[in-house]
Structure 1
Amino acid sequence: MIRAEIIKQATALLGKKEIKGNQGFYDQQIDQEMRSLGFQDGYAWCALAAELAWTRAYNQFDSTMIKEIEKYFTAGAQRTYRKFKKSPFEVNQTPEPGDVVVWKKLSGGRNKGYGHVGIVTSELDDEGYFTTIEGNTNARGSREGDGWLPKRRKLKLSGDSGLIVMGFIKPKEV
């Protein structure tokens, strides 16, 4: 039930745009909500976009969960993952609709210290792909984009360059 609501809330954000340079959002309600989650001008905001979808969804069923998830989401992808990994939330390597997916960016085998985040909208298909809705992306799939878009991503759990999946954060049913 919560998973479907997370996807509904993420879908409602599709096509919404940022003000160039991560300076806020054209939609004033989204701008206010993102700032209430910790967004500041200049921030990368993909993790906060995922938090927004989860916050809106939990607000429909059990608003007490909002305080719980606020403890673990940050503006940083990898930091968000590390905090959830130590939390009561389940984290694993299998995508399910409604999950938060977290990637780390590697270059030459080195962790660059940043990453990307999205909301999973499908299970893994026969070709090893899953679909997402991601904030702060663009048509080319950049982790530094200008809005919310749907993506089809290959499940890549290892490698020495590009975006590598750290894991999938599971929502708690309510």
Structure 2
Amino acid sequence: MMIGLQIAQIAMSFDGQQEIQPNMGFRDPSYAAKIYATGWQKGEPWCAAAAIVDWTEAYAAVPELAGKARSLYSLNSQQMAENFHKDPVWPTSTTVPVVGSMAIFADGNSTTSGHTAVVIEVMPDGITYRTEEGNTIPANATGNQREGYIVAQHVHQVGRPHSVTGLNLLRFIHPLEA
């Protein structure tokens, strides 16, 4: 199976994982252990950590790519986008979603505030894509109250802000196939 499809399947397997709010850990101890293994600490946003978990599990069988990816990961979404974009081998794009890609969103021009998601499906039009993302709310949530952020799916379009947060797409980090 292609790495991109493995990443998407792994990401979807974590759908519904819930934090202990606000960013203080996770209800499922097994998922918590995976997130902590990324270097994540209580009180920090965890969307990038969730994507790193998905990629880490998919690349576990390909040690050379796993090590390369590990050297480029960051819990800061924008820093991770920059790390992968500067790498001479790893593919990125500002307009082309690919299944298994990390989608990195930025809060305006901020270098610290943003969001990370994993592309789990690209629609036939090539610009509409569905993501699985941690540290978010369900797409159908109403009001400002929350029970704790979860891993949930959202649908986006290239060239439009994030469908829930309003953040702007910075770039896609495509999976490298073995």
TM, length-normalised to structure 1: 0.86
Shift of the 72–127 alpha-carbon distance from structure 1 to 2, 3 Å rule, reads closer
The 1-side partners of 2:126 and 2:81 are apart by 26
1:172 partnered with 2:171: no
Superposed CA RMSD in Å reads: 2.4
Amino acid at match of 1:76: N
Unaligned runs of 5+ in 1: none
% identical equivalent positions: 26
Which ranges of structure 2 fall in alignment gaps of 5 or more residues?
none
Say whether 1:149 aligns with 2:152: yes
> 5 Å matches for 1:42-121?
42-59=43-60, 61-87=61-87, 88-93=89-94, 94-106=96-108, 110-111=109-110, 113-121=112-120
In structure 2, distance between residues paired with 1:141 and 1:83: 33
SS at match of 1:97: coil
| Contact 1:48–1:73 (8 Å) recurs in 2 | no
Describe the shift of the 1:151–1:25 C-alpha distance in structure 2 as closer, same or farther (beyond 3 A): same
Q: CA deviation at 1:140?
A: 4.7
- 1:119-130 matches, cutoff 5 A: 119-126=118-125, 128-130=127-129
- Secondary structure at the aligned position of 1:111 is classed as coil
Do residues 26 (structure 1) and 27 (structure 2) align?
yes
Is contact 1:14-1:133 (8 Å) kept? yes
Q: TM-score under structure 2 normalisation?
A: 0.85
2:97 touches 2:126 (CA, 8 Å); kept in 1?
A: no
